[in-house]
Structure 1
Amino acid sequence: MVSKKALAIGGAITFVVVLVPSVLLFEDTFMNKCLEVKEEEKTCKRALVLFKQAYVGKDPDTVTPDNYKELFDLIPFNHPCKKTMLWSKTSDLVKLVEKGKCYVPIAHNKLGYVLDDFKWCGKKNSKETFTGAECSDKQDKIPSYSFWTMASIRYAQHACEEVKALLNGDVEVPYDTKSFFGRFEVPKLDHTKVTKLDVILAVKKKGMQCNDESLKNLKNELKQKGIGYDCKEVLRCQVKKILNTC
C-alpha cells in the first residue's frame, strides 16, 4: 500500500511517498478489531501469535482447520447459544441483523468480526503474510478457508435449543451440501443441545419453495440426528423485521 507523508523543506510542503507493507496494516487491523470487541490487549496479542502460527511459513495446501484450534480455544464462541443463526447464500441479508439484539451470526462473534472479509495465506519458508492475488488459487485450500471451516464447526457445536437458519429460496439448491452450512454446520449440530432447526427461507415471491427437494433432504438429515425441523417462507423485504423481532 502507498501513503503520503508531508515534510517541510525550505518552507515548502513536500509529499514523500511511503510504502506501507500490507501485512502491517493487516496485523494492525487484527489488533484494533480485537480490542474493539473488548478483549484484553494481552489476549489480542496472544491471539495474533496463534493466528500467524497457523499459516505463516507453511504451504497453503498443508494448512488445515486444526491449525486454528488453539486460536478458538483462546477466544471461543461465548454468545447465548440459543441466539445462534446459521446461514447460506444470504450474506446480503445477514448484514441486516442488528448487533446485540435477537440473533448472533458468526461474523458478530469476536473472531468472526476480526477476520470477516479478509483473505490471507503464507508461503513455505517465508515469514510473510500475503493478502492479495497470491491467495486466490485453490479456493478451498487457502488458510482463510480453513479458518472459516473451523469457525463453522465450533459455531455449530456451540448452538442450542431452537436454532435459526437463513437460507435463500430463490437459488436452485437452497440446501447445498457443499456449502459451509451443509458440509460443516449441519453435521456438527449436537442433538443433545439442539432441539430444532427453524429455516427462514428468503424469497422474492411466496410459493412452494419449502417443498424443495434439497430442503426435504435437510429435514431427513436432521430427523436422523434427532433434531426437529421447520421451514417458513419470508419475503426478502420482510426479512429485516423478522430477524430483529425477538
Structure 2
Amino acid sequence: MPSVKSACSAIIGIVICISVPQLCFGPAQAVFGTTPNIKHIVIGRCFTYTTLVQPGLRYDCEEIWRQFEKAVVQQSSCNVTEEHYFEMFNMMPEIWPCDRFLFWSKTRVLVHSYAAVFRHFWTLEDTLVGYLFNDLVWCGQEEDSDFDFNVCPAWSTCRTHPVYSLWKRASQNFAEMACGNITVLLNGSVVNAFNKKSMFGSIELDSLNPQRVNYVNIKVVTNPEGPHIESCSQGSILELIQILLSRGFQWTCTDSDLALVILQCVQDLNHPSCQMLANNMLQQKDLTST
C-alpha cells in the first residue's frame, strides 16, 4: 500500500501544477509513479520472450523479478545504483552473434521499424532486459516495502535514479558485447545528432571495444520535411568520427540511406520528397526493363 507521505507528495504535486503550471515542466519534473501492474508485465514479458521471441533461452522469470524488486523497493527514489541490479543482471546473461548490433540516438521510432524489417539487426530493446523494462517506470520508497505507485522523480533529478541506473548498466553491457560491423542510426534533423550526454554518447560509445568491433557504420537520416541540419560532413557527426579515429575504430558514414528513407515514406506517401523518390524509382525501373 502506498505510504501517506508519498500520497501527500503526489497531491501536493498536482496542486502545484494546477496553480503554477510552469513549475511542472522543468528538468526536475516529477512523473507518474511506478507503472501499474509492473510485476505482471515484467514476468509476462519474460515468459513471452523465452517462449516466443527467443525460445532457445532458459531463464528463471520469477527469480529475475525477485532480484529486480530487491534492488528497488525500500530504497529512496534517488538512491539506486547500477550495483543494486548486479544480481538481476547475473541471472540474464546473453551472447549475440557479431554484425547484428544496432545503436541509435534520437531515432527511436525509425530504428525499431528498421530492425523489424531487417531482422538480422538487434537493438538494446531486443535483449531480454530491454524487452522486459522498455517503456516502464519504477521507483521505491524507503519507508515502505513496495514500489511508489504515486510519483517517481524524472531521470534528470539524480544520477542514481532507479530507471536510469538500470538502463545505464544495460547499455554498457550491450556495447561491451558488440562485435563485428555495428550500425549507429542518428537524426540529422536535430542539432547535436551526436550528443556526448546521450546514452549512446556517454555510455555505449565508451564501452565499445575496437579489438572486437571491425567497423562502425554511421547512418544519418533526416525527416522528410526537414530540417536538414547535420550530415556526415557537418555538425556533431564530425566530432563522433574524430572520437572513433582517436580510439582506433574503422568507420563509414552514409547520409539518407535509401532503405531508411523508404521506411520514412511509408508513413507519409504523399510528402513531396517521397513522391519524388517514388517517381525516380519508377523511372529507373523503366530504364532497366527497356
Which TM-score band applies after superposition, normalised by the shorter structure? 0.7 to 0.9
Specify whether residues 24 and 234 from structure 1 end up closer, same or farther in structure 2 by C-alpha distance, changes over 3 A only.
closer
Q: CA deviation at 1:77?
A: 3.1
Query: What is the rounded CA distance, in whole Å, between the counterparts of 1:212 and 1:77 in structure 2?
Result: 37
Equivalence for 1:27: 39
1:229 corresponds to: 251
5+ residue gaps, structure 1, are 1-21, 242-246
Q: Is the 8 Å Cα contact of residues 172 and 203 (structure 2) preserved in structure 1?
A: yes
- What is the CA deviation profile of residues 80-101 of structure 1, one whole-angstrom value per residue up to 9, with x for unaligned ones? 2321111000011122021881
* Aligned residue in 2 for 1:3: none
Instruction: Check whether the contact 2:189–2:229 (CA below 8 A) recurs between aligned residues.
Output: no
Aligned residue number for residue 84 of structure 2: 67
Query: 1:227 deviation in Å?
Result: 0.9
| RMSD (CA atoms) | 2.5
CA distance in 1, matches of 2:158, 2:75: 16
Q: 1:215 to 1:127 in 2, by over 3 A?
A: same
Distance verdict in 2 for CA 1:132–1:106, change over 3 Å = farther
Which residue matches 1:196? 215
- 1:36 matched to which residue of 2? 48
State how far apart, in whole Å, the 2-side matches of 1:220 and 1:198 are: 14
Q: Which range moved further: 184-193 or 60-69?
A: 60-69
Structure 1, residues 150-171: CA drift from partner, whole Å, max 9, x if none? 0100000000011101110110
2:125 is the counterpart of 1:113: no
CA distance in 2, matches of 1:142, 1:85: 25
Find the residue that maps to 1:232 and give its secondary structure. strand
State the secondary structure of the residue aligned to 1:95. Answer: helix
1:77 and 1:37 map into 2 onto residues whose CA distance is 13
Q: Are positions 1:135 and 2:159 aligned together?
A: no
Give CA-to-partner distance per residue, 1:37-84, whole Å, 9 cap, x none.
117887111101111121111122221122222222211232223211
Measured in 1, the distance between the counterparts of 2:207 and 2:41 equals: 31
SS in 2 for 1:81: coil
Q: How many residues align?
A: 220
| Residue 275 of structure 2: aligned partner | none
In structure 2, distance between residues paired with 1:79 and 1:99: 19
C-alpha change, 1:231 and 1:33, in structure 2 (3 Å) is: same
In 2, the alpha carbon distance for the partners of 1:164 and 1:180 equals: 15
Would the aligned equivalents of 1:57 and 1:127 in 2 still touch at CA under 8 Å?
Answer: yes
Q: Give runs of aligned pairs for residues 49-64 of structure 1, distance below 5 A.
A: 49-64=66-81
Shift in alpha-carbon separation, 1:239–1:73, aligned structure 2, 3 A:
farther
1:175 pairs with 2:194: yes
1 or 2, which has the higher strand percentage? 1
CA distance in 2, matches of 1:128, 1:154: 28
Summarize the Cα distance change of 1:101–1:55 in structure 2 as closer, same or farther, 3 Å threshold: same
Kept after mapping to 2: 8 A contact 1:194/1:227: yes
Distance 1:41 1:31 in 2: 14
TM-score calculated relative to the size of structure 2: 0.69
Give, in whole Å, the separation in 2 of the partners of 1:125 and 1:208: 48
Identify the structure with the greater helix proportion. 2
Structure 1 residue 140, shift from structure 2 partner: 4.7
- Amino acid of the structure 2 residue aligned with 1:187: D
Q: In 2 relative to 1, CA 53–231 (structure 1 residues): closer, same or farther, beyond 3 Å?
A: same
Task: Describe the shift of the 1:191–1:131 C-alpha distance in structure 2 as closer, same or farther (beyond 3 A).
Answer: farther
> What percent of counterpart residues are identical?
24
> In the aligned structure 2, how far is the partner of 1:132 from the partner of 1:144?
16
| Secondary structure in 2 matching 1:217 | helix
More off after superposition, 174-183 vs 38-47:
38-47
CA gap 1:26/1:234 in 2 versus in 1, 3 angstroms: same
**Does the CA-based 8 Å contact 1:23-1:128 persist in structure 2?**
no
